[in-house]
Structure 1
């Protein structure tokens, strides 16, 4: 029923070649031909990203229909076990959005979560949408067209904002049964195995029901501190890293208002960035043609949802004088103005308006970026968070901060950390980490660097020195003293 899927495949990522060779492309094209009741088709271009391989299938019908076949990238050993759940949730979310909103998106023609079928891989077969990604035209777009684009993007956000769920997580649908809204339900995000949230996964935070973002981030901060204690045994700078986490935890009550989540959690796109927002008619009146890539979507905390789209947010590593900073200020002002207008014409959802949440989101944005993606205090994001937190604290503070570079702000917080550790509330932790560092150095001298690796975990170090305890028989052994302290 379909033409051969033979094609050349060249890519630096070895998973692309593996995936291309594993998948039975003829089986996918046959399914498409059967679905559209035609006799033949042929494969066109392909592309790949961090998670998937995409190929375009051209049907030989009167409309010259083009479909998109997307399959997850295969490692040589096996396919990630979370893939099936990820595809099921993505397809479910797309069905929900197609049914209950006016947001344009691709239509799923066929899909499978099974790696053992004729195709030999899970896949999604969907319609190809018109338009080009906003990312390719946004920077060159004039202010009037930007306003037209932002109004339509705000429309998408307000539609998603109006759909609330009772908890945070991935969206699924009960098989059979009711076709109403009660057919959909939320399941823990751990089924998606999002690799960016290592602390959350490691300490099972994503399997716990936290009704408010404040509860979640307090638990996350505590898990961060536990992780600091349990990893990188003997690391000299651990005390500062711990103080950094302690400071971040202290910000949670100021940044996250539990009342914001009292009316449920809005449906959120997993990567609402300009590369996934498609537009047409760019030369005349830009028209939103589709929002694509609903992978990792689901219900989110209000504080996570209520942030500016990333394409009008400063990149964390931009210099202070980066020319696009001024443009983003202008775009955000336009965004705020339009959002207020749109909110006045729509039925209000319970709780604080989205415009207020977003206008107060900068601190939340910086906090989440630092906690989830930036483990070191010297990262460019942390000084910006410090500057945001200190604000206009009296004339001296205001004038000092206004003239101080971000680097000097980092030095200022090093002094703050020193005060916490040397004589303040964290002095016991400092003594503990100093004792661990001494035990680590003694163990390396006695057992050798091959046995006592850098960045060893606490439990691994303890198991090692217990097995080699007879090597630490000398009087005053720091390792023996340390073992007594943790017994």
Structure 2
């Protein structure tokens, strides 16, 4: 039997220390034996190896009367001392992914790889890592061929994408959250919905604090909670930094929510929303024919139920990348593809419900503002700079060349009106931090400190700060106890 390929034989040139730790941590022979036993294979051979941002993927060929190839995925082995909470999040994320894949597979025609075996415990039941074994789908990632396709071929693919979206739209639950399989299900027993905090790290992908540990039954409540967390994070983090503009923008984002979300679309529940419905997660076959065929939708990790307005956004592979210049060559093609998508969606939705008024089609066609909002609220540090001007242009008609832009007028009004006390607090905290830096140095008084961390640092070094100085005055103020 062949041994697993070495790191040097990976399909990617980039080499990560996570990869080496993972290869050394996993008992690959024992993991292969699980698949061998399931398929009653006589021998096995390790195939190609891929690694991405979070997982190592290996292909395993099982030899018997009929050869079979399966896909084995393991998350990167973590460094020693990893937080137990993060380990539990990783375990529950896999449990939710498996439950979602099983539900979608059994309740729709969406092509989903079959889960053959998995173990979400930290050591994988003796394997040395959590693991998942799934069936291998034929095809190549859509991202590798999409740009070379003719308009007619892309329309064939988009027609299938529309069909998949409509199927997912029909799979609805009564709450917004992560899908799990177990006791406690209601309409879809044994499937149930649990809070998104069960599967998402508050420090990496989302901005949920521990206190927002619940499911939601309203698009308004969900996104207001999300936007409020942004406001609170800006307030408490990066003590002494200049952040009043970010704070004002976060307030503006929250104020727009009632105008963005059509809750009438959710009367029948909340659809299953693939968390990364992008071309790298769509496999396609018959690429060189007039009728390319979608064979699988991959990577269901992080998928959840969502408000229909959030669900009804164009697939990202026909959306302009925020980092593109205005004259990017692919923008006209994306515009054509979105027009094709709209036509196909209207035709398909009309066939399903001739007298329904095409609510989903209309939601897609009006989704640009929702896209801008959700990108800014979900990824404020990554997208804030890129989408700032498109956001204000879309909602308020502001141009970058405007002499008196609305964004500046709004900011000035807020910091001199409803948010004046908070703006004054931020200004004072920059003065307080400046004194602390002069006394303790930049290494100790880093910008990344939260307000509570700065307070703890100041108290530890209280004897170094002068009586009547800015730090001591701040410690005696109400703001030090927020």
State TM-score, norm by structure 1. Answer: 0.88
- Answering whether residue 163 of structure 2 is matched by residue 158 of structure 1, we say no
How far is 1:350 from its partner?
Answer: 9.0
Question: Which residue number corresponds to residue 137 of structure 1?
Answer: 145
Decide whether aligned partners of structure 1 residues 179 and 142 sit closer, same or farther in structure 2, where only a CA change above 3 A counts.
Answer: same
> Paired residue for 1:234?
240
CA deviations on 1:96-142 (whole Å, 9 max, x unpaired) are 12211111121122222231524222211121111111111111111
- What is the CA–CA distance in structure 2 between the aligned matches of 1:319 and 1:69, rounded to whole Å? 39
After superposition, residues 32-431 of structure 1 pair within 5 angstroms as: 32-77=35-80, 80-114=87-121, 115-174=123-182, 181-194=188-201, 200-205=207-212, 207-235=213-241, 237-284=242-289, 285-347=291-353, 353-375=359-381, 379-391=385-397, 401=398, 404-405=399-400, 413-421=407-415, 423-431=416-424
Q: Any unmatched runs of 5+ in structure 2? A: 9-13
Distance in 1 between residues matched to 2:88 and 2:194, nearest whole Å: 16
Question: How far is 1:4 from its partner?
Answer: 4.0
Q: Which moved more, 1:81-90 or 1:124-133?
A: 81-90
Cα distance between partner residues in 2 of 1:272 and 1:239: 35
> How much does 1:78 deviate?
6.3
Cα distance in 1, alignment partners of residues 197 and 5 from structure 2: 36
Shift of 1:460: 2.2
- The alpha-carbon distance between structure 1 residues 349 and 107, as it changes in their structure 2 partners (threshold 3 A), is farther
- Per-residue deviation, 1:6: 4.1
Matched residues in 1 for 2:204 and 2:404: separation? Answer: 25
2-structure distance, mates of 1:349, 1:90: 36
Provide Cα deviations, 1:401-423, integer angstroms capped at 9, x if missing partner.
Answer: 5xx44x769965234313432x3
Q: CA deviation at 1:450?
A: 4.3
1:251 counterpart SS class: helix
Where does residue 476 of structure 2 map in the other structure? 484
8 Å CA contact 1:25, 1:119 repeated in 2? yes
CA contact (8 A) 2:346 2:358 kept: no
Q: In the alignment, which residue of structure 2 is the partner of 1:396? A: none
Distance 1:195 1:273, change over 3 A: farther
Residues 1:349 and 1:81: Cα distance change in structure 2 (over 3 Å): farther
Separation in 2, partners of 1:52, 1:349: 46
Other-structure match for 1:434:
427
Decide which of 3, 9, 32 is 1:5's aligned counterpart: 3
Deviation of 1:378 (Å)? 6.0
Q: Is the 8 A contact 2:208 2:229 kept in 1?
A: no
What RMSD in Å do the two structures reach over aligned CA positions?
A: 2.7
Please tell me whether the aligned partners of residues 225 and 245 of structure 1 are also in contact (alpha carbons under 8 angstroms). Answer: yes
Q: Which runs of 5+ in 1 are unaligned?
A: 392-400
The Cα of 1:254 is off from its aligned counterpart by: 1.7
Deviation at 1:246, TM superposition (A): 1.8
2:451 counterpart of 1:458:
yes
Compared CA separation, residues 7 and 69, structure 1 to 2 (3 A) = same
Aligned residues: 468
Secondary structure of the equivalent of 1:44?
strand
Shift of 1:149: 0.5
Could you say what secondary structure the match of 2:189 adopts? helix
* Structure-2 separation of matches of 1:94 and 1:409: 52
Residues 31, 39 of structure 1: alpha-carbon distance in 2 compared, 3 angstrom cutoff: same
For the 8 Å contact 1:241–1:377, the answer to whether it is kept is no
- The TM-score with structure 2 as length reference comes to 0.89
Give a deviation string over 1:10-45, Cα, whole Å, max 9, x none.
351111111112212212222222212221111111
Q: Summarize the Cα distance change of 1:315–1:419 in structure 2 as closer, same or farther, 3 Å threshold.
A: same
CA distance in 1, matches of 2:236, 2:396: 31
